[in-house]
Amino acid sequence: MTLHILNKSPSADALIKRMLCAIEDGDAIIMIEDGVLGALDAHQGLFSSIPDNVALFALEADLEARGITSRISEQVSIADDKQFVVLCSDMDKTVSWY
């Protein structure tokens, strides 16, 4: 099980497409930095192809910094810095997409 760390906004569509191709059952995705823009309700369709058991997270500090915490999709859970570390240690490995 892999944690995918995404730091680019949805405008990096080629990058996100490549990431989605690499997603497997039981993986998780955490959006950080500009990546958290992908958590917006308006971008709900972005992750429509991923399996149900792939959890989606967005980093709290980056959501707050962009003022979008209240506008994110129901699909996405908010992770603080501590949960980010826990995710990295709980999953077998991490891949950074940037």
Partner 1 sequence: MKFSLVIQASPFSHQSTATAFRFAQTLLDEGHELFRVFFYAEATLIANNQICSPQGEADLPQQWQTLAEEHQLDLVVCIAAAVKRGVIDDNEAKRYEKASGNLRETFELSGLGQLAEAIAVSDRVITFGA
The helix (run of H) or strand (run of E) holding residue 48 is none
Distance CA(65)–CA(92), nearest Å, equals: 29
Q: Is 53 exposed, middle or buried (0-12, 13-18, 19+ CB in 10 A)?
A: exposed
CB 76 within 8 Å of CB 57? yes
Is there binding between residue 66 and partner 1 (CB under 8 A)?
no
Indicate whether 16 belongs to the interface with partner 1 (CB under 8 A).
no
Segment interacting with partner 1, rule: CB under 8 A, options 17-25, 31-39, 48-56, 67-75: 31-39
| The only residue of 33, 44, 55, 78 in contact with partner 1, by rule CB under 8 A | 33
Please give the torsion angle defined by the CA atoms of residues 83, 89, 92 and 96, in that order, rounded to the nearest 10 degrees.
Answer: 60
Contact call for residue 5 and partner 1 (CB under 8 A): yes
Shortest approach of partner 1 to residue 17 CB, angstroms?
Answer: 17
Q: Which chain residues interact with partner 1 by CB under 8 A?
A: 5, 7, 32-34, 61-62, 81-82, 84-86, 88-89, 93-94, 96-98
